[in-house]
Amino acid sequence: ETGVTQSPTHLIKTRGQQVTLRCSSQSGHNTVSWYQQALGQGPQFIFQYYREEENGRGNFPPRFSGLQFPNYSSELNVNALELDDSALYLCASSLEGAQNIQYFGAGTRLSVL
């Protein structure tokens, strides 16, 4: 049990739609990172938030956006969904001062049809 909860666990959307994925972290975990894992591949870094501000971004287009809230929850939003967005989306949080230890959620599996 990592204390990081993601919702929903599974989601089916159609091309062009928008989706919001949620992550709830432990109290005090003020850094959250989001990753996309396509089938059969390792996760790829999307972006990181620290104290509600974006703190680094991977090679993903602007239609991938995020929010982090004061209650240690966060969201990943994806607009104009494409078929290639089908993947497992993982969030990982870490505690101030121990940011090299990341706690992963179980992920949200998104299927875009």
What tokens does 77 get? 């939003």
Binding-site size for other proteins (CB under 8 A) equals 28
Q: How far apart are CA 39 and CA 67, in angstroms?
A: 25
Sequence-distant (6+) residues with CB within 8 A of 55 are 31, 47, 48, 49
**102 in contact with other proteins (CB under 8 A):** yes
Cβ proximity to other proteins, 80 vs 98, nearer residue: 98
Among the residue ranges 13-21, 22-30, 36-44, 73-81, the one whose residues contact other proteins (CB under 8 A): 36-44
Cβ proximity to other proteins, 90 vs 112, nearer residue: 90
Q: How far apart are CA 48 and CA 61, in angstroms?
A: 14
Cβ proximity to other proteins, 78 vs 91, nearer residue: 91
Indicate left, alpha or beta for 80 from its phi (over 0: left) and psi (-120 to 50: alpha). left
**99 in contact with other proteins (CB under 8 A):** yes
Among 25, 105, 110, 112, binds other proteins (CB under 8 A): 105
